[in-house]
Amino acid sequence: MTSQNVILLAAGVIFPIVFAALIFFPRARIYASWAKVAALSLITTLVFCDCSSPNLAIESNPMPEKQVATYMTSVTPSSAYDTPPKFLKGYAPFFPTTEAKRRHWGYALVEFSVTADGATSDIRPITATAYSFAEEAMYAVQDWRFAPARKHGQPVVVRMRLPFTFRS
């Protein structure tokens, strides 16, 4: 468990319990000032160290560039380009509503081409735990923009793969 998770756990679970105890148990009011100091410390930590937002993709929010760069792999042989494509902008896929009702986690592996102008084309699912996960990943990728791969300074089309993990 990371320090971010511990802080979020404290904010979401421990402090509401403490404040509920203050309301229902009069003797606990002795510790009210202690709880206020702890709550203020937690809020200050969350605000100043930005621990409240881990660097992960959250549905419909911008995809973190590092995350795409880390997990994206080339299907095209590396001899076909000098510099690989670089993710510029795009949004994370939505969690499929049909799977959200079942509270399933899911996975999709999508393959696509990055064109010479940096757009995506020929988007295909390779594998997925359910087709709805693949659909959402493909919908998201179709609007992404890249700096195209280059060979001798000229933009070239390359084929890429990217896995998506969906968590409810």
pLDDT value of position 117: 97
| Same-domain status, 12 and 69 | no
Residues 83-106: pLDDT tens digits?
999 999 999 999 998 888 787 789
| Same-domain status, 120 and 86 | yes
Which pair of tokens denotes residue 164? 């998506």
Nearest-CA neighbor of 62 among 32, 90, 95, 33? 90
| Same-domain status, 75 and 42 | no
| Distinct helix (H) and strand (E) counts, the chain | 6, 8
Residues 101-158: pLDDT tens digits?
787 789 999 999 999 999 999 999 999 999 999 999 999 999 999 999 999 999 999 9
- Single-letter code of the amino acid located at 156: V
Total domains present in the chain = 2
- Single-letter code of the amino acid located at 104: H
What domain range includes position 90? 65-166
Provide the CATH number for the domain around residue 142: 3.30.2420.10
| Same-domain status, 128 and 90 | yes
| Same-domain status, 44 and 70 | no
Name the pTM for this structure: 0.66
